[in-house]
Amino acid sequence: MPGVARSLVRVGEIELAVAVTGEGPPVLLLHGYPQTHVMWRHVVDRLAAEHTLVMPDLRGYGQSEKPPGDSRHTTYSKRAMAADALRLMEGLGHERFAVVGHDRGARVAHRLALDAPGVVRSLAVLDIVPTHYLFHHVDRPLADGYFHWFFLTQPELPERLIGADIEGWTRWVLDRWAGDARPIDPAAVDEYVAGMSSPGAVHASCEDYRAAASIDLELDDADVSAGRRVQAPLLALWGDEGRMGQLYDVGRIWTDYADEVSGRAVRGGHFVAEEAPEETSDALLAFLRDPAGWEATL
């Protein structure tokens, strides 16, 4: 991504690889699995014309630090990852900001909006339903489409199997989850393979999923029981060829977890920012300009 400044930034006990570009109201962009901040490359230019963009590699991914997991998986809890993001933005001088997250990054963004409601100005989540909803509505189509949610939580085995062919696994995942609209370009795929091949990355990503099925779900259950919801305006986007949109009424589900929800499907599969960058950029820019007035509330 030409013109994007990259650096390593210490946040608490770990170091994050961070890319920054643009000028204007700040937006934090959080990538998904098995990717890095490079997933935003096709939307950066348009968003950066109006916003300061902060794009870290999440802990455990890309060039960011990859601490070992712990027995309760708190090291890779979405609360820990959200705290990384909050410290990063505070350190850069951004007291209040918008958050856009895809896949795992959207789950971190959801947790950040719950834990720091006064900080998150608006929240956009790309191709997910809440972790709480997904785990409480497990059925055969989910198990088929999202088998990796259960495979990656197993102790030790996924590290051994994926570790035997990291490149093969990463390329298979990217190909299986994408739609037919626009293939992910080879240079980006190479970047994601390199990130997953770095020492500790496979273990870290497995811990991310183990946390989702344990400590993250515990925290989500507690929030739902207490009636805590996302207060910031929320935009949900999902791929019209992806499993998420095929299995779920994505926008309606989010209305059970957030006060003000809008959204729609865009062209493509799971990787909407890469498969449908124009549509995704259009939606994000309109939402970021006027979060409360973007299209119709669901």
Q: Which positions are catalytic?
A: 103, 270
Q: pLDDT, tens digit, for every residue of 233-249?
A: 999 999 999 999 999 99
Q: How many CA atoms lie within 13 A of 108 on its CB side?
A: 28
User: How does DSSP assign the chain, residue by residue?
Assistant: -TT-EEEEEEETTEEEEEEEEE-SSEEEEE--TT--GGGGTTTHHHHHTTSEEEEEPPTTSTTS--PPP-TT-GGG-HHHHHHHHHHHHHHTT-SSEEEEEETHHHHHHHHHHHH-TTTEEEEEEES---HHHHHTT--HHHHHHTTHHHHTTSSSHHHHHHHT-HHHHHHHHHHHH--SS-PPPHHHHHHHHHHHHSTTHHHHHHHHHHHHTTHHHHHHHHHHHHT--B-S-EEEEEETTSHHHHH--HHHHHTTTBSSEEEEEESSSS-HHHHSHHHHHHHHHHHHH-GGGSS---
pLDDT digits (tens, 9 = 90+) for 80-127: 999 999 999 999 999 999 999 999 999 999 999 999 999 999 999 999
pTM of the model: 0.97
Q: What is the mean pLDDT of residues 40-66?
A: 97
Residue 95 CB burial class (10 angstroms; 0-12, 13-18, ≥19): exposed
- The CATH number for 5-293, chosen from 3.40.50.1820, 3.40.50.720, 3.30.360.10, 3.10.20.30, is 3.40.50.1820
What's residue 181's pLDDT?
Answer: 65
Residue 257, number of CB atoms within 10 A of its CB: 22
User: Does 153 have pLDDT greater than 80?
Assistant: yes
> What ranges do the domains of the chain cover?
5-293
- Quote the tokens at residue 130: 């809440």
